[in-house]
Amino acid sequence: MSPFTPLVLAAQAAGGGPGIVPGTPTARHAANVLIVVADDLGVDQLAAYGEGAEVPVTPCIDSLAENGVLFRNAYGYAYCSPTRAAVLTGRHPFRTGMGTFMEPSAETAHALPTEEITLPEMLASAHQQWSTAAFGKWHLGNATVGGLLAPNLAGFAHFAGTEGNLFPPYDYFYWPRVEDGAQSLSTDYVTTDTVESALAWINTAPEPWFAYVALHSNHTPLHVPPDGLFTSDISAADPHFNPRPLFVAMAEATDAALAKLLVGLGKARLRTNVIFLGDNGSPEPMVVPPIAPYQHKGTYYEGGIGIPLIISGPAVAAPGSEVAALVQATDLYATVAELAEVDLSQVLPAGHAQDGLSLVPFLRDPAAPALRATAFSELFSPNGFGPKDAWFETLRGERYKLVVEGGNPDRLFDLALDPQETTDLLLGSPTAEELAEYDALKNALLALLQS
């Protein structure tokens, strides 16, 4: 594979290959849904967002934005597992118990409950004949919910990937591959294997299909990807003293994998809506200015919980658009439901709280009125519904952001004037407007948590 292959693939994925013509019968009646999750890839790393001063070369992600809708203010959570759980259930962590990442050795700890109604289970409950599969990093299960079979027991008819992150002795080139409950060791590059496994299934799955592809990159361990998957210079890279070039190369390999996946869809791309997102912000050593170094993954700052979100495909009426309205990872559940023409009120049990709102109105009209006045995020540990060792909750409106953190006074930030969140407005002498905003956000937060 030549060093330019990612660029060629990206051009094909953008529309030089199977393109989309909005408004055609295909566009009005799209069949398939593909969700792709990138790990630890914040908005500061993507040229499409224009927020980072120095970013990897990611032509495929750029092309997704050019041919789709980019969401400027999308909220996930501070770590990976809560965001994944929210995407698959449409529910916040305080409802699912998934407040932080799954510990690799937590075989008796709380995992995503089997009682949750996941996306594939929702599609099945609507009595629609959807083919469903998940690939890559699961990171939502352990022995308490089926162990190696956890993704299948969560509703996916097929799964190929890993239980969670890759820790020593495993890495991207030597890892325990799980396929429908059976485990074996693989020496294939895990990112490539994830995409090839997804394509092998997609090319034989009856339509309509729903595929959830969770890439391991850019999560540690940092490494040099195989030749041809990146174009950046890694000559000065050092995992301890200069890790940034490795992270950049991994981001470019992520983009190349996405391009291969989209091109591999062939003509099915005409019938597929693609949802691309990150699971949290960039990790601490990799945050790119002007985002401050402390606004990283694991924190309540915008750089920690703000995520990239781009939707491209036949449901998009105005490709190349941007939406500034507040949206959340939970919204993808209702979005998939509407794309699949499923009425959630008819398939979910009474009293089953949903925290998401469909984003389809923005796909039809990016200038549509905002769906929500606030966006919520939280972190707590340990996972579960018991006492918390550490926690925070944050609720932001269009301008102001409230942070409630265990053991600390409440904080209020003005994101319009203070995007780096350095000045707590509740210290000193807050204005009447600021106090009114604080009261409104605090009351809204309490109402949400009690809902």
Kindly give the pairing relationship between strand 209-214 and strand 131-137. parallel
Kindly give the pairing relationship between strand 411-414 and strand 400-405. antiparallel
DSSP letter (8 states) at residue 294: T
What is the reported pLDDT for 18? 34
What is the reported pLDDT for 177? 98
Give a yes or no: residue 243 inside a domain: yes
- Cβ contact 111:144 at 8 Å: yes
Give a yes or no: residue 378 inside a domain: no
CATH number at residue 127: 3.40.720.10
How many C-beta neighbours within 10 Å does residue 115 have?
8
**Same structural domain for residues 36 and 150?**
yes
**Same structural domain for residues 143 and 288?**
yes
**Same structural domain for residues 325 and 422?**
no
What is the reported pLDDT for 238? 92
**Same structural domain for residues 17 and 49?**
yes
Q: Stretch 252-265: mean pLDDT, rounded? A: 98
**Same structural domain for residues 400 and 340?**
no
Q: Is residue 255 very low, low, confident or very high in pLDDT (cuts 50, 70, 90)?
A: very high
For the cut 60, the answer to whether the pLDDT of residue 37 exceeds it is yes
424: domain range?
Answer: 390-449
What is the reported pLDDT for 57? 97
Give a yes or no: residue 385 inside a domain: no
Give the residue from 315, 339, 373 where a domain finishes: 373
- Rounded CA separation 1/320 (Å): 30
How many C-beta neighbours within 10 Å does residue 19 have?
13
**Same structural domain for residues 299 and 367?**
yes
Give 120-162 pLDDT, tens digit per residue: 999 999 877 899 999 999 999 999 999 999 999 999 999 999 9
Give a yes or no: residue 67 inside a domain: yes
Buried b (16+ CB within 10 A) or exposed e, 195-205: bbbbbebbeeb
Q: Is residue 290 very low, low, confident or very high in pLDDT (cuts 50, 70, 90)?
A: confident
How many C-beta neighbours within 10 Å does residue 1 have?
12
**Same structural domain for residues 298 and 438?**
no
Give the residue from 338, 373, 408 where a domain finishes: 373
What is the reported pLDDT for 21? 40
For the cut 90, the answer to whether the pLDDT of residue 104 exceeds it is no
Give a yes or no: residue 382 inside a domain: no
- Rounded CA separation 119/136 (Å): 17
